[in-house]
Amino acid sequence: MDETPETRALVEAVAARLREARRAQRLTLRALSEKTGLSEPFLSRLERGLVSTSIANLILITRTVGIDLGQLFRGVSGTTTTPHYALVRAAERRPPQEVPATGYTYQPMAVGWPGQRMDAFVLTFPVKNRADVLTAHEGDELSFVLQGEILFQLGDEKIPLKAGDCLYFNAEIPHMGKNVGRVDAKVLMVAAPGRGPGREYGWWKAPAPPAKPRPRRVGRSSRTRRDG
């Protein structure tokens, strides 16, 4: 996706706000890496506007540094904020941004309202996804399919969704959506993160399955001899 001057300005603004929030908490990049599980080089590039990231990563980072996700986009062009609401006109909404390695794009619907507790995005899943991975974060999530067909995995369950279907779930359960239709799928996602730091399994790995208990060995056991 070609980057417009407006998109570049937004990326740089978000990067600067992430950096300022981290420093305000007196966290080094290494400390933030240890708290989030994200690599230090990746966080450094993110704070310099050299790489974009997933929604779940942004939720994780902002919660760890003590800000709301909406604060990253506050005051961007096209957004009008008052003490009571944030308004984004359709013609002024910023363009969708691609999430590296996944192939899909996301577009925030409304941002910048102080105290915002929900984050809404339109996700576009291309016909051929480039990644097949799970993610998880604190809070609840709602997914409403606007167009196309999605096979949604929630834990071990796979749920087919078509245009008009709506799924509400606990976002701490590892989840992902996969386009199984013939056109690009669009999904309205609304997330209400928890107040604590989120948990992120990452776009590059799925959570490890729980360890199975080891079977007890059958055989002669060693005993301490006692002289009688």
Distance CA 162, CA 164 (A): 6
Q: pLDDT value at position 157?
A: 94
Task: Write out residues in the chain with pLDDT < 70, as ranges.
Answer: 1-8, 10, 70-71, 73-83, 98-102, 112-116, 130-132, 193-228
List Cβ neighbours of 11 (8 Å cut-off, separation of 6 or more). 3, 49, 52
* Predicted local confidence at residue 85, as pLDDT: 77
Q: Is the pTM of this model over 0.85?
A: no
